[in-house]
Structure 1
Amino acid sequence: MSQSFPLQRRHPDDLIVGLVSVSDRASSGVYQDQGIPALTEWLGQVLTHAPQIVSRLIPDERDGIAATLRELVDEARCDLVLTTGGTGPARRDVTPEATLDVASREMPGFAEQMRQVSLKFVPTAILSRQVAVIRESADHAALIINLPGQPKAIRETLEGLRDASGAVQVAGVFAAVPYCLDLIGGPYIETHPEIVKSFRPKSARRATDGNQQ
């Protein structure tokens, strides 16, 4: 079903998320995409208020990926765009290049931390080329983050690593997403701290925020 853009926000802090799965084989029907369902389920678990979601399943084509990212930010007015797939060293892995094509500014800390989390699980994390960027226009900005392609790796990089007692050993990247959205003029979002304890300075918190530090 087609959607008219921009989407209508249900309230001022209504989060609009774009989900992009980049895969030649999944987009051609060879196998079923797992990235978008995994991300949709995870966002529903971690956020205290359900977001509006716009999803796209597309092949590994640099121009097509860039066009999709522009559509989601500029037309659908997404505040956050999460991509999965296409971040390795293979010749068809061009998601990072396409993401940089649409960027106003790069946010290297997200990619650095994702690799730190993944290195706790697999040595091949150093092969990942994920990037994160801000795309800005005169009246809107969005955070775009490249994520791995596998649901298990997606969850690990977003949530981080905990020990047997549940204490966070290595923070996942989503802990910084709410405050990043604040800083670029996006909606105020809150997370369930038992899944992801998001961080904001005291001066930026609302009294109702359950993620008190």
Structure 2
Amino acid sequence: MSTIKIGIITVSDRASAGVYEDVSGKAIINTLNDYLISDWDDVYKIVPDEQDIIEKAIINMADNEKCCLIVTTGGTGPAKRGVTPEATEAVCDRMIPGFGELMRVESLKYVPTAILSRQTAGLRGSSLIINLPGKPKSIRECLDAVFPAVPYCIDLMDGPFLKCDENVIKPFRPKKK
């Protein structure tokens, strides 16, 4: 069996230009390393807040790199250049709005501005794409909330079996009869 591939896309004009280090993408990698026992490799990219570039990065990770999961960070707020949800919706076959709904509910426990967030999730082929906020603390809070559903979603798409450290995160999988 080949190693599982997970895509991480940081959407940031400044990080893509080298103005500052990408801490958000690294926060996703660190969180997934905490969660997953399965061997996995990241397919990592930093892109500017340009819808066509974001779309191309997602398409490449889903169609060519065969990532079962693609996690984006950044570009989900109301700023004019925040277009990650639009890019995600443009390339997905189907949307799964429950991910964004749960992330906003979780974030509201910490900040009242969570209602401004436009995170979403969708499916492209055999890939699950999840949009996360840009702050590392918020990334972990949101992933802690939604990740229990991720392995089963990937199972349903005939993707690889994601084995988790259940002392850190407990995935939900229905009991087999």
Shared fold (TM-score, shorter chain, > 0.5): yes
Match status 1:46 vs 2:35 = yes
8 A Cα contact 1:43 1:50, kept in partner: no
Which position in structure 2 is the counterpart of 1:30? 19
Which position in structure 1 is the counterpart of 2:172? 199
Distance (Å, rounded) in 2 between the aligned partners of 1:125 and 1:51: 31
Choose from 152, 155, 171 the match for 2:137.
152
Distance (Å, rounded) in 2 between the aligned partners of 1:158 and 1:195: 12
Give the deviation of 1:35 after TM superposition.
1.3
Q: How many residues matched?
A: 177
Give the deviation of 1:50 after TM superposition.
2.9
Q: Which letter does structure 2 place at the counterpart of 1:81?
A: I
**Higher Rg:** 1
Choose from 94, 103, 106 the match for 2:95.
106
Which position in structure 1 is the counterpart of 2:67? 78
TM-score by length of 2: 0.97
Distance (Å, rounded) in 2 between the aligned partners of 1:130 and 1:43: 19
Q: Which letter does structure 1 place at the counterpart of 2:9?
A: V
Distance (Å, rounded) in 1 between the aligned partners of 2:38 and 2:128: 19
Which position in structure 2 is the counterpart of 1:189? 162
Structural RMSD (CA): 1.1
Distance (Å, rounded) in 2 between the aligned partners of 1:72 and 1:18: 6
Distance (Å, rounded) in 1 between the aligned partners of 2:139 and 2:105: 13
- Which segments of 5 or more consecutive residues in structure 2 lack a partner in the other structure? none
**Once superposed, which parts of structure 1, at least 4 consecutive aligned residues long, lie more than 6 Å away?**
none
Deviations along 1:114-149, one digit per CA (max 9) or x if unpaired, are: 01110111110000001100001xxxx100000111
Distance (Å, rounded) in 2 between the aligned partners of 1:185 and 1:85: 28
- Which segments of 5 or more consecutive residues in structure 1 lack a partner in the other structure? 1-10, 160-171, 205-213
Deviations along 1:174-212, one digit per CA (max 9) or x if unpaired, are: 0000000000110111211222111000118xxxxxxxx
Distance (Å, rounded) in 2 between the aligned partners of 1:152 and 1:29: 22
Which position in structure 2 is the counterpart of 1:162? none
Greater length-normalized contact order (CA 8 Å, ≥ 6 residues apart): 2
Which position in structure 2 is the counterpart of 1:93? 82
Matched residue of 1:44: which SS?
Answer: helix
Give the deviation of 1:37 after TM superposition.
1.1
Distance (Å, rounded) in 2 between the aligned partners of 1:150 and 1:195: 21
Matched residue of 1:52: which SS?
Answer: strand
Deviations along 1:18-73, one digit per CA (max 9) or x if unpaired, are: 00000001110111111111111111111012311100000000000001100000
Report percent identity of matched pairs: 50
Which position in structure 2 is the counterpart of 1:118? 107
